[in-house]
């Protein structure tokens, strides 16, 4: 299934901001192609406030709920603006709600795989604060939902060009969650050293600026995917950021569209071995509209088995 919601287009971080509504429009336009017509579309619900409170305990999150309905704009950090604040709050609630609903759908047997075409992204949001274009940590909320439903091994795989510092912060002391990330190093937000290993559940793969297909595939094939395979996850969650693409204006990598299709197929293969095929993926970064459309479509194609 594909989960999305029109509210995710209403969040507007400001003129010229790279995390614009056009990003999601590009993905949705690509997924409107006839080849994807057979995938069920589901309107994303809002995530439950009780689940947010379990993952995001910082006082800043209470302030978001207190202020967003009553102000026009709410700046959370230098890069993260909620505008109009009430619309941005609904977009963030729907973005997180999509991933949580995707988890419920695959655990209930209503789907085997899900892609969440949503924004704002989430993987930089920490338990204490929103940051880096992210309000709530969508994939972390989904992982918490899976644990609450009784799973004992959940893997979160992140191939965004930036390290998912918030996701790592949420689970670095939680052995039931494995976090594996490839990211450009060094780069914002400065976390993601290979020495950061949590309780043996965190795996960070570095990609120097200029790295392309060979390096991207090697770090996953040689380092990260074997760790995921050994973990034998019962569910795989994916933070699907496409800003490592060679066309992306914010990243410094040279990953190709075909590399995302390859990695997605490898992820699905692991899910078939250990998780009954269950994968829930959600959109993170990606700021070239061309690359987003091409790589996003390639990812969904491979996720749902349209290509090997």
- Catalytic residues, by residue number, are 124
Q: How far apart are CA 10 and CA 35, in angstroms?
A: 27
Query: Which has the closest alpha carbon to 157: 223, 251, 245?
Result: 223
Q: 277: phi > 0 → left, psi -120 to 50 → alpha, else beta; which?
A: left
Q: How far apart are CA 123 and CA 179, in angstroms?
A: 12
Q: How far apart are CA 173 and CA 85, in angstroms?
A: 33
Query: Which has the closest alpha carbon to 146: 275, 258, 29, 2?
Result: 275
Query: Which has the closest alpha carbon to 239: 139, 100, 172, 127?
Result: 139
Backbone angles phi, psi at 124, to 5 degrees: -90, -15
CB 135 within 8 A of CB 64: yes
Q: How far apart are CA 277 and CA 270, in angstroms?
A: 8
Q: How far apart are CA 19 and CA 139, in angstroms?
A: 18
Question: Per DSSP, what are the bridge partners of residue 178?
Answer: 155
């Amino acid at each position: 299934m594909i989960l999305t919601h029109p509210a995710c287009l209403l969040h507007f971080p400001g003129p010229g901001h790279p995390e614009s509504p056009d990003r999601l429009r590009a993905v949705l336009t690509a997924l409107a192609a006839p080849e994807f017509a057979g995938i069920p579309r589901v309107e994303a619900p809002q995530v439950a406030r009780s689940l947010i409170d379990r993952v995001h305990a910082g006082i800043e999150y209470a302030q978001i709920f207190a202020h967003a309905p009553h102000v026009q704009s709410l700046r959370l950090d230098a890069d993260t603006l909620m505008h109009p604040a009430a619309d941005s709050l609904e977009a963030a609630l729907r973005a997180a709600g999509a991933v949580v609903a995707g988890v419920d759908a695959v655990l209930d047997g209503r789907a085997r795989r899900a892609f969440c075409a949503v924004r704002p992204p989430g993987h930089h949001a920490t338990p204490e604060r929103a940051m880096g274009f992210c309000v709530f940590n969508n994939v972390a909320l989904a992982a918490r939902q899976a644990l609450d439903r009784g799973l004992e091994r959940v893997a979160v795989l992140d191939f965004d060009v930036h390290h998912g510092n918030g996701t790592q912060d949420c689970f670095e002391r939680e052995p039931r969650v494995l976090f594996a990330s490839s990211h450009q190093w060094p780069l914002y937000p400065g976390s993601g050293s290979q020495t950061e290993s949590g309780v043996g559940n965190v795996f960070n793969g570095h990609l120097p600026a200029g790295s392309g297909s060979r390096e991207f595939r090697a770090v996953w094939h040689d380092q990260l995917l074997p760790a995921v395979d050994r973990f034998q996850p019962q569910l795989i969650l994916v933070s699907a950021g496409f800003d490592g693409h060679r066309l992306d204006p914010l990243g410094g990598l040279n990953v190709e569209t075909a590399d995302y299709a390859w990695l997605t197929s490898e992820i699905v293969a692991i899910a078939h071995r250990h998780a009954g095929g269950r994968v829930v993926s959600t959109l993170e970064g990606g700021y070239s509209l061309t690359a987003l459309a091409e790589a996003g479509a390639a990812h969904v194609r491979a996720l749902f088995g349209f290509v090997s």
